[in-house]
Amino acid sequence: MARTDPTLLGTVEDVSGATVRVKLGSETVSGLSFIEGQSYRVGQVGGFVRIPLGFVNLYAVISHVGASAVPERLADVEIHGNRWMTIQLVGEGQPGARFDRGISQFPTVGDTAHLVTETDLRTIYGRPNDYRFVQVGQLASASSIPALIEIDKLVTRHSAVLGTTGSGKSTTVAGLLAALSDRRRYPSARILVIDIHGEYGKALQDRAAIFRINPDIRKGERPLYIPYWAMTLDELLPITLGTIENPGDRGAIIDRIMALKLEGLKARPAPGVDADTLSVDTPVPFSIHKLWFDMHCDMRSTHVERDGQAQSRDTWALELDPATNKPVQEGSAIRGIPPRFRAAKDIKGDAEKIRLSRSPLSISRQIDALGSKIRDPRFDFLLRPGPYCPAENGKTEQDLDTLLADWLGDRSPVTILDLSNIPPSIQSELVGAVLRIAYDALYWARSIPEGGRERPLLVVLEEAHVYLNEKQIASTAVRRIAKEGRKYGIGMMLVSQRPAEIDQTILSQCGTLFALRLSNAEDRNHVKGAASDNLDGLFAMLPILRTGEAVIIGEAVNLPIRTLINPPSANRRPDSSDPKVVVAGSEAEGYEGPGGWNQKLDPANYSEAVELWRRQNPRPPNVFVEAIEADVSETGDTK
């Protein structure tokens, strides 16, 4: 075959659907090729091939090179079995015109295959100054070509950033979020980050509203509150009371919550709901402290029996102080402290008989569990949620409109919900509740400017494998976003080091995959199964990718690309870097930072470490915030 075109690679010899085998020409050389002053790598897995068909160019990605690409029927007779390539068709376009995914026609035997040049790549990938695209790095095969991501497809069709620890996953996400929240290009961006390890506050602090359980007021952080009354019954019960198996007990709890919500509506009417339309799942404030107190007393109280008088609070047999004849402990609903009742007694001949309550409820262990959580300060962000904490009549200082403005982007394009101090036992349930609240708010607001159709929301789920397996409650909310969120302007980005542990229904809905280094074969198989393109050879390189290098596949890129991700600047790196074990060489000279086994040992003082451990807060204490929280926990006053 005469080599008159420097881009010519070979000819098509076999076509099987989207899989095409190309026989390289005898003059085609591997390694570097120079065309119009530019160097190109020939025969690289992940490289691109162009097949001209009249006025249309078909584009493909190289998946195999060498003997493994030889058709089976020719494997025994092909002398030069290493001069074959297997390519996967991915799209088409006219020369100099727009590229489109998918193909309208197939090549035939004898069609020529060509190297894709920089000019072709610029046609395929667009221009970096186009506001529809955001740059994440450069192509590994052509460092002068920016790797561009189409924002519409990235957000609404969902995405996943997958890579083992140390592969550059967190810096990739931080760089993406920094680019997507650029105020000059996207002043109305709306991004919600679920950060269970507290990594992204440092990286995005200049453009994010950061909510933590123990906020640093000096840095502008704000307290994190998740009002329990905004949850549905199925979300609230596992967190508070636990499993209620008896239908009668469950029905009684529903009736009591409904009565408390009706009382709350009387204290503070809520537009859009009244007594006729109220349900147990309607996000109307009610006092869970009063619910616990009343049910505890109904089940544990004792009563002085009086002729003709029914058991009520007036007949309580409270334990009395002999010195003052006053109750020893009347209890406090807001603090979770129960009253102290006298023991039941029924002695023959004794004029005073004390009877146990005749409550039909049989959930004493669940009531005790709820009381324990009300008294536990770790649950204050949920059960005593600051300005959203209802009084006993259900009245709150602030309503959900304030919460949604904070969470869904009012003043800042990014909102970070730092869940690092949340008890692990309720982590999945809370993530599911937060996402369901955000989804419902945007779903019902879909026809107004605050809804997701006019201003889409991107939800970023860090360490998704921790709370998104098939058996965890959060998966239910995320599955709903994955399947239906596109229609209502709610997109998600999963971030995980173990894709094999994520519910496959959720992972399969991610239209764009950022696959960084993945060493585990099971994880690679799950990524391969979630990808829409047949690119086995491209996925085979995942274990050997460099740190910060990714294979990007899916709807947000015109062609699958192998790219070097642009790391964010030093002050925008997430708080996830590896500690220094040894600081050596030129790095050690004048080194004043933490870490290093070869650094001078200072006298150990673990008293501060124990104090921070007990505080459950790695930062120095913030006296102002802790004083407020202590006052609320003692008095119940949320003002």
pTM, rounded to two decimals: 0.84
pLDDT at position 612 over 60 = yes
Structure confidence at residue 637 as a pLDDT band (50, 70, 90): very low
Backbone phi and psi for residue 278, each to the nearest 5 degrees, phi listed first = -70, 140
pLDDT at position 142 over 80 = no
Q: Which residue has the tokens 């085998």?
A: 21
* Lowest mean pLDDT segment, chosen from 186-195, 200-209, 252-261: 200-209
Range among 246-255, 316-325, 557-566, 597-606 rated most confident: 246-255
pLDDT at position 576 over 70 = no
H or E segment and range at residue 631: helix 623-635
97-103 average pLDDT score: 79
Axis-axis angle for helices 364-375, 233-240 (nearest 10): 80
Range among 278-287, 419-428, 527-536, 574-583 rated most confident: 278-287
pLDDT at position 10 over 70 = yes
pLDDT tens digits, one per residue of 456-510: 999 999 999 989 988 788 888 999 999 999 999 999 999 999 999 998 889 989 9
Q: Give the Cα separation of 480 and 276 in Å (integer).
A: 28
Q: Give the Cα separation of 60 and 50 in Å (integer).
A: 6
524-547 average pLDDT score: 77
pLDDT tens digits, one per residue of 508-528: 899 999 999 998 888 888 887
When the candidates are 3.40.50.300, 3.40.50.970, 1.10.3720.10, 3.40.50.720, the CATH number that belongs to 133-139+142-207+412-572 is: 3.40.50.300
Residue 94, classed as helix, strand or coil, is coil
β-strand partners of 494: 160, 461
21-45 average pLDDT score: 74
CB 341 within 8 A of CB 293: no
Instruction: Output the six-digit token pair for 616.
Output: 């459950």
Measured at the CA of 293, the angle between CA 290 and CA 295, to 5 degrees, comes to: 105
pLDDT at position 78 over 70 = no
pLDDT value of residue 37: 63
Of the candidates 248, 232, 335, the one whose C-alpha atom is nearest the C-alpha of residue 290 is: 335
Structure confidence at residue 635 as a pLDDT band (50, 70, 90): very low
For the chain, the residue count is 639
Structure confidence at residue 439 as a pLDDT band (50, 70, 90): very high
Cα distances from 99 to residues 93, 103, 121, 136, 356, in angstroms, run 4, 10, 10, 20, 78
pLDDT value of residue 230: 95
Average model confidence (pLDDT) across the chain: 84
pLDDT tens digits, one per residue of 340-382: 998 888 766 566 788 888 888 889 999 999 999 999 999 999 9
Of the candidates 533, 489, 486, the one whose C-alpha atom is nearest the C-alpha of residue 513 is: 533
Residue 151, classed as helix, strand or coil, is helix
- Cβ burial, residue 317 (10 Å; 0-12/13-18/19+): buried
Range among 172-176, 216-220, 456-460 rated most confident: 456-460
Q: Domain-by-domain residue ranges, the chain?
A: 8-125, 133-139+142-207+412-572, 235-372, 593-635
